[in-house]
Amino acid sequence: MTPCDLRCPAVHVLAACAAMAVAQAWVGPARAQNIVEVHGAPGQTGPDGAAPGASGGSGGAGEPATALNAEGGYDTNYAEAYGGAGGMGGAGAAGGNAGAGGAGGAAVSSAQAGPIDGADAGAYSVGGSGGAAGPAGAGGAGAAGGAGGAVHATSSVSGGFDVYSQATGIGGAGGAAAFKGGAGGAGGGGSVSATGSSSSGGFLDGVAALTGGDGGAGALGADGGAGAAVSLDNVVSGSTTGGEQFSQTAAGGAGGSTTGGASAGHAGAGGAASSTITVTGGTQSGISASTVAQGGNGGSTDGGAALAGAAGSAQATTVLTGVGISAFGGSAATGGNGGGVESGTALDGGQAAASAVVHTSIDNSLYGTSADVTAQGGNGGASHDGSGGAGGNASANAVSTTTGSNDVYYTYAFSSAVGGSGGAAAGAGVGGAGGTATATAAGAVINGQAAYRASVQGGDGGAGGYGAAGGAGASESLTNAVTGTTSGSLSLTQTAGGGAGGSTFGGAPSGVAGAGGAASSSLAVNDGRSSALTVTITATGGAGGSTNTGAAGAGGLASAILDAASTTASQVAGTATAVAGDAGFKVSGHSWGLGGDADASASVSANGGAGQATASATGGYTRTAGAGSAAAQATLTDAGSGAASALSTVQAWGGSATAEGESPAAGAATSAAVAGVASGPVDLRPIVAGRAASAISLSPGAGSADGFGAMSAGYGGSGKTLGYSVSGDFDFVSKDQVFHLTGLDLTLLTNDVSGTGFDSLTLQVDVGGDVYTYDFSRLSEAQAFFASNGLRLAGGGQAFVDVSLVLTGSKLNQGFGFAYEVAPLGTYTLIPEPPTWAMIVIGSVGLGWGNRFRARKRPPARERAAGYLSPCAASIGAGGASIGARISGAGCDGGASA
């Protein structure tokens, strides 16, 4: 059985299940249908004022419409009702007031179907629009636009097999108004309900959706109307012994905007939206339920800050409890956008909160439970001469638990929250700050696969135009936001991302671009139940904003710190990834801000079984020395097999550089990698038992790409032969220039040794595709070679150089390390900068240079060591006669070189 009662293979997406159920309700042999459709007549236009001082008459109300369909003999009954539009108000005579618009007609629909095998019923109601207020006479006051018509839709169906019940309502829009003293009409609200039952264990699908009407616009001093708020609370229900699926959607109406400049009225607020469903099931074969809430946008104005409409908030809540059945729940909430203004500070985006709590108790082997939650804050409003509104905050919470004596196939809880983007600014203002986000995910199951994931993304800062500064990207931090237990396989994932800084354009000079938001993801796991544990955390800093002539924004910092341990799992894997934000770009002067620093740490304790600790850090792109550094450290303890791997990458004008180290499991294994953008030699890495370490630096200058590095490896076993690999990789292609490599000057600066050094040692240098390999079996030969050795090596044409070392040891205190310099030979081709006009166009919608460039992907150091070091190796003999043996291509047919 699947979550959709064998109907939906895409068990991880509730929306897919809904689509499948709807499709199956419609596909198949033609069935008898009966449709009742009723339209209300529009209201009459109000009479004009006949004499000076006389007001216009009110418009007539739209005729209500009622559609009822309960005809027998049909397996599909639909009822559609459309309220009539309100009439326009009459014009006031000289000195007379405007006539009010007529109210939109209400719409009521009711559909019933059954009892027939496979029955459908649908009720659809649309409220009539309110009539516009008439124009006021000279010196007269405005009047109100008509309110939008209310809606009521009810669907009820019963059948012997599959049944589908849907109720949809759309409130009427408020009528527009003009002139001071008037106001746009309020949007229409209403109610919906959908029920169904299947007497023969068929599939039941219940859907209810209500959209509030928009508020009417206001002009020439009139206020805007409020968007209708919508609240749905358990408006879908039903019964069956088969699969059951409910969906409930609420959307608030948008507030009416206003015009009139200095005399503009207050814009209308967006309607709040709330959708809550609580379901308990025990007779069904499986049950799913989802809620959706969408806040209405606040009305904008061409007047000042105090006149904009507030955004509608959104809240979606699902509580689902199953007894002896599988249960799948979800919720999604999106805040409305804040109202924009002509001057001053625009309004903030609406808040969004979503949660799903799903539980079931199962005594037989079923699929279990799932909770899938998303929340998106609304965007801040824009200001033409002032500051943008802040993005709305978002929160998401997912809980999925299963109890019972037997195994379940799986259980999962996924939560994702995204802050809204800040609104754009112009003049003396600042782009709105990005909204923040919070998320949690938790779960528990007796046995079976379990996966829990929490993710947050900070909102982007708003753009700044013509002197305005860019808004700051939101910083995000998650600490122990995901938890879960099972005696089966357990997967935990935690992700945090900072928002991008707002870019700036125009002005002399342009405003300061916004900084990218920092990101921090920290997770400590102490597992005592699972059979296999996988933990993954990620932190991604936001990109700095770009600019025409101002100061470019800095990229956001990134920090990922993981500590994972299990006392029961036979396999434990932990991965920590930190990617810092790229620096913003400045067109004038062709300069960049500072790239963010990245720090990643992964510590894994494997309970004597297989273990893997992986840490990866990538610094943000920049041209500036000392910025965009990266540090990664991976530690593996109490592991019978596996490895600790660390990788750090920096990016600069000259290209990118990656330091990588890998240590095999043997008691305690540690790998450390450090990369930076700087000039000058790198210090020797200390030789530590059980650790493979690599450090690297890349010169940031234009037209050059010299690099420095140091690496070391220390044996950490107790007599067993182990291999350690370290590398330093340089790519001489960046966002600014491409290097045409013809060769390499490699200088071996100094070396260090511990104990007897090694059993065997291999140095490999890959120069653009031409591979040079040097094998050592004696410490004295290696020391002589590394102590003072400059090599000029021909290149294969590709723009990269890789330097790697593989140490094999079996004795305590063995270790070796060295420092080096690479100076590629060849020529550069600069990549043209984007023209200023392109930056202006892009900047007006927010710039981002977040894509990181990596010229090519190489295999990890351990694969390089195992894959092609030996077949084409050149052994270093007593006389060193074969030093510098050149190897090119798979056939190793290259000749000798110095």
Any idea which of 110-124, 508-522, 829-843 has the lowest mean pLDDT?
A: 829-843
Kindly tell me if the per-residue pLDDT of 834 is higher than 90.
Answer: no
- pLDDT of 801 strictly over 90: yes
Beta bridge partners of 439: 396
pLDDT band at 889 (very low <50, low <70, confident <90, very high): very low
ω into residue 115 within 30 of 0, thus cis? yes
Q: Are 342 and 261 in contact (CB under 8 A)?
A: yes
Give the least confident one: 28-42, 702-716, 834-848. Answer: 834-848
For 29, the token pair is 């042999």
Half-sphere exposure of 136 (CA within 13 A, CB side): 22
Cβ proximity of 408 and 368 under 8 Å? yes
Statement: residue 258 has pLDDT above 50: yes
Query: Could you write out the DSSP letters of every residue in 5-30?
Result: SSS-S-TT-HHHHHHHHHHHHHSSS-
In the numeric block, which tokens belong to residue 770?
């031409």
**Per-residue pLDDT for 25 more than 90?**
no
- Asked whether the predicted pLDDT for residue 847 surpasses 80, the reply is no
Residue keyed to tokens 């021909």:
794
For 187-219, how does the pLDDT look when each residue is reduced to its tens digit (9 = 90+)?
Answer: 999 999 999 888 877 888 999 999 999 999 999
pLDDT tier at 832, thresholds 50, 70, 90: low
In this prediction, residue 398 carries a pLDDT of 98
pLDDT tens for each residue of 608-632 = 999 999 999 999 988 766 568 999 9
Whether residue 255 contacts residue 212, with contact meaning beta carbons closer than 8 Å, is answered with no
For the chain, what is the mean pLDDT?
86
Question: pLDDT class for 753, splitting at 50, 70, 90?
Answer: very high
What is the Cα–Cα distance from 258 to 252, expressed in whole angstroms? 19
Structure tokens at 305: 């800050």
How does DSSP assign 297-339, residue by residue? PPPPBSS-GGGSPPPPPEEEEEEEEEESSEEEEEEEEEPPPPP
Tokens of 80: 């559609």
Q: Is the pLDDT of residue 561 over 80?
A: yes
Q: Is the pLDDT of residue 383 over 60?
A: yes
The whole-number pLDDT of residue 627 equals 62
Cβ contact 471:434 at 8 Å: yes
Residue pointed to by tokens 């998303």: 374
How high is the pLDDT of residue 235?
Answer: 98
DSSP characters over 669-729: EEEEEEEEE-SSPPPPPPP-TTEEEEEEEE---TT---EEEEEEEE--SSSS-EEEEEEEE
Mean pLDDT over residues 552-564, rounded? 98
Q: Is the peptide bond before 509 cis (omega within 30 degrees of 0)?
A: yes
Angle in degrees, CA 623, 628, 630, rounded to 5 = 140
- Report pLDDT digits (tens) over 51-107: 999 999 999 999 999 999 887 767 788 999 999 999 999 999 999 999 999 999 999
Q: What per-residue confidence (pLDDT) applies to 71?
A: 76
**Which pLDDT value is given to residue 70?**
84
| Domain range list for the chain | 62-85+103-128+147-176+184-214+230-254+268-298+311-338+346-378, 402-627, 640-832+853-898
Looking at residue 635, what is its pLDDT?
97
pLDDT tens for 817-828 read: 999 999 998 887
pLDDT given for residue 633 in this prediction: 97
Rounded Cα gap, residues 601 and 584, in angstroms: 27
Of residues 501, 608, 521, 605, the one with CA closest to residue 561: 521
308-327 pLDDT, tens digit each: 999 999 999 999 998 878 88
**pTM score, two decimals?**
0.89
Confidence of residue 859 (pLDDT cuts 50, 70, 90): very low
What is the distance between the alpha carbons of residues 868 and 866, in angstroms, rounded to a whole number?
6
Alpha carbon of 196 to those of 203, 448, 875: distances in Å? 10, 33, 80
What are the structure tokens assigned to 834, written together?
């984007």
pLDDT at 833: 52
| pLDDT (0 to 100) of residue 700 | 60
pLDDT at residue 4 in the model: 36
